[in-house]
């Protein structure tokens, strides 16, 4: 048994920045990390953080760009709340020691790049590895802070909720290496578990993005919103040894062009101007659908992203990580194009929260990709994700600092009961179901959908849920089983949300309803608890 003031589940930018703000205010925090503390999904983020930092830019411009990308489903109040706090969030990171790329002509100024959907240069970055710079800095600070205890290689199984009070009182946690589940009670819990993109066969996310927080919150009684809006990044490396290596949108922001491959594999026709006047700088859903269309039309395995027309020194200095990784794979991006395909990248929906990151369950907060704050609507604007993590982590921390003194310490929770389960000798069932789920989600619930495909997916999900729940109830749990259970839950939420939207909007594109309705309504599914 263990007690803590605040239990933070997840160690990306949202979880760590919230934990640090709380710890700096004297609050005891326990951070739960699936792997090492520095292994949150933020580590893999290449692009940057969008914020109004240029004199020619404005909050109104950033708000407008976000609303346009969100295709009529953004909550304008949430958008303004987030955008207005962008510059201060970047300054906070700088004060923590994050070193962003500076302007070549004036080292006192931050270098700003431009990405798809943005009308101005407003993306602050650390070369092409912004997430790594943020994650390593915050994780080192958290590891050294006396008010933060890290539980590494630990997986949350479920939230512990006082049903009478409808208040979270802790969580059950699995020690992945040693085995065994323990109950940790807390006066408040912050979910910062990231998205659910591993529900698809092809994803740019690390393996841990299995929708754990969304599934746990739904089982605890929280409403889940907008799960049909799964963003596919247009340009993931097509290579057998680098299936989740993302090619940052910043390349297109700096002039890279999408081309069809000629018969000999060389770069051919540029195709994006046929689909949108913004060409390669169109929002991600448009670019991803254009690539998907061309691949299906021509029977291609991939398209090409070409930046060879830029000077070699420019490419190497602006994109050192991408250049180095591609070289390892035998591709010199200064001389040849990169083969790319779309892949699942970002979950725009999630646990419904208010502007203080509070959910429907008292004491439970959701920060970052796990949450649906109203910022993204039907499609996320590039580099608004790390911004959302930072802004709502601060909002949650401020609310906790103000209200936690009035919350009494929680009593010990009931221990995890394994008295009626046995060790499984059928682990192949888990691996088989994992592959089946991710394959039919890719085939039926991907970039382009139909009602029949969605219904087929729902039928298979119903069967899998029965199998997985039976397995979960009879055998000792493992990390793979927990993630599979959560993945099939979020798959169900995605499909049910998609079936309830008879239109095409943002990231949800269905051939049966290609038009967008005049009325714009978010999709909300009630929690199970």
Q: Which residues contact 236 (CB under 8 A, 6 or more apart)?
A: 202, 204, 243, 244, 245, 246, 247, 340, 341, 342, 343, 345
How many Å apart are CA 346 and CA 383, to the nearest integer?
11
Which alpha helices (DSSP H) does 97-151 contain, by range? 130-144
- Geometric angle at alpha carbon 51, from 191 and 14, rounded to 5°: 15
Q: What is the DSSP string of 277-304?
A: TTGGGS-HHHHHHHHHHHHHHHT-S-EE
| Secondary structure (DSSP) of 376-444 | STTSPPTTHHHHHHHHHHHHHHHHHHHHGGGSPPPPPPPPP--TT-B--S-THHHHHHHHHHHHHHHHH
Q: Tell me the Ramachandran region of residue 226: left when phi exceeds 0, alpha when psi lies from -120 to 50, beta otherwise.
A: left
How far is 524 from 349, CA to CA, in rounded Å?
10
Q: Which of 402, 360, 32, 288 is nearest to 372 (CA)?
A: 360
**C-alpha–C-alpha distance, residues 355 and 391, integer Å:** 10
Residue with the two structure tokens 């250049």: 323
The residues annotated with a catalytic role in the active site are 284
Nearest to 382 by CA among 80, 115, 141: 115
Element (H, E) at 169: strand 167-175
Give the span between the Cα atoms of 328 and 326, in whole angstroms: 5
Say if residue 248 is exposed, middle or buried (CB neighbours under 10 Å; 0-12, 13-18, 19+): buried
To the nearest 5 percent, what fractions of the chain are helix, strand and coil? 40, 20, 40
Q: Where are the alpha helices (DSSP H) in 120-258?
A: 130-144, 212-220, 250-253
Q: Which residues contact 343 (CB under 8 A, 6 or more apart)?
A: 200, 202, 203, 204, 232, 233, 236, 244, 246
Query: Which of 423, 384, 401, 497 lies closest to 29, judged by CA?
Result: 401
Cα four-point dihedral sign 498, 81, 198, 248: positive
Which pair of tokens denotes residue 210? 């299995």
């Amino acid at each position: 048994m263990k007690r803590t003031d605040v239990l933070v589940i997840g160690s990306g930018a949202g979880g760590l920045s919230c934990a640090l703000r709380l710890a700096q205010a004297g609050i005891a925090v326990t951070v739960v990390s699936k792997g090492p503390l520095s292994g949150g999904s933020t580590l893999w983020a290449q692009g940057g953080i969008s914020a109004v930092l240029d004199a020619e830019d404005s909050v109104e411009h950033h708000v407008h760009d976000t609303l346009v990308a969100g295709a009529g489903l953004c909550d304008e109040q949430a958008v303004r709340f987030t955008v207005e706090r962008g510059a201060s969030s970047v300054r906070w990171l700088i004060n923590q020691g994050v070193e962003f790329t500076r302007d070549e002509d004036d080292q006192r100024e931050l270098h700003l790049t431009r990405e798809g959907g943005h009308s101005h240069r407003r993306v602050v970055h650390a070369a092409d590895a912004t997430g790594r710079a943020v994650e390593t800095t915050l994780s080192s600070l958290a590891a050294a802070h006396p008010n933060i205890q890290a539980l590494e290689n630990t997986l949350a199984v479920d939230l512990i909720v006082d049903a009478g009070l409808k208040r979270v009182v802790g969580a059950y946690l699995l020690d992945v290496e040693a085995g065994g589940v323990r109950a940790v009670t807390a006066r408040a819990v912050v979910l910062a578990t990231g998205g659910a993109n591993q529900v698809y066969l092809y994803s740019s996310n690390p393996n841990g993005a299995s929708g754990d927080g969304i599934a746990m919150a739904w089982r605890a009684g929280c409403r889940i919103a907008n799960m049909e809006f799964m963003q596919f990044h247009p340009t993931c490396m097509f290579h057998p040894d680098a299936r989740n290596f993302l090619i940052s949108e910043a390349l297109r922001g700096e002039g890279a062009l999408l081309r069809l491959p000629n018969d000999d594999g060389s770069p051919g026709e540029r195709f994006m101007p046929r689909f949108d006047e913004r060409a390669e700088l169109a929002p991600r859903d448009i670019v991803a659908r254009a690539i998907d269309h061309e691949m299906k039309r021509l029977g291609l395995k991939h398209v090409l992203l070409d930046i060879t027309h830029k000077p070699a020194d420019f490419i190497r200095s602006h994109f050192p990580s991408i250049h180095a990784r591609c070289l390892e794979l035998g591709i010199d991006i200064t001389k040849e194009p990169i083969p790319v395909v779309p892949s699942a990248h970002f979950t725009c929906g999630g646990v419904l929260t208010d502007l203080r990151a509070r959910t429907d369950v008292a004491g439970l907060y959701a920060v970052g990709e796990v949450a649906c704050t109203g910022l993204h609507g039907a499609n996320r604007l590039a580099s608004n994700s790390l911004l959302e993590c930072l802004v709502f982590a601060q909002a949650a921390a401020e609310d906790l600092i103000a209200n936690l003194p009035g919350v009494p310490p929680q009593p010990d929770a009931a221990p995890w009961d394994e008295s009626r389960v046995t060790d499984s000798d059928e682990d192949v069932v888990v691996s088989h179901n994992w592959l089946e789920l991710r394959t039919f989600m890719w085939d039926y619930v991907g970039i382009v959908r139909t009602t029949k495909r969605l219904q087929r997916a729902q039928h298979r999900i119903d069967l899998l849920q029965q199998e997985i729940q039976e397995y979960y109830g009879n055998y000792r749990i493992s990390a793979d089983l927990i993630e599979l259970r959560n993945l099939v839950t979020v798959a169900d939420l995605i499909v049910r949300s998609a079936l309830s939207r008879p239109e095409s909007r943002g990231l949800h594109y269905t051939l049966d309803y290609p038009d967008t309705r005049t009325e714009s309504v978010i999709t909300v599914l009630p929690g199970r608890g």
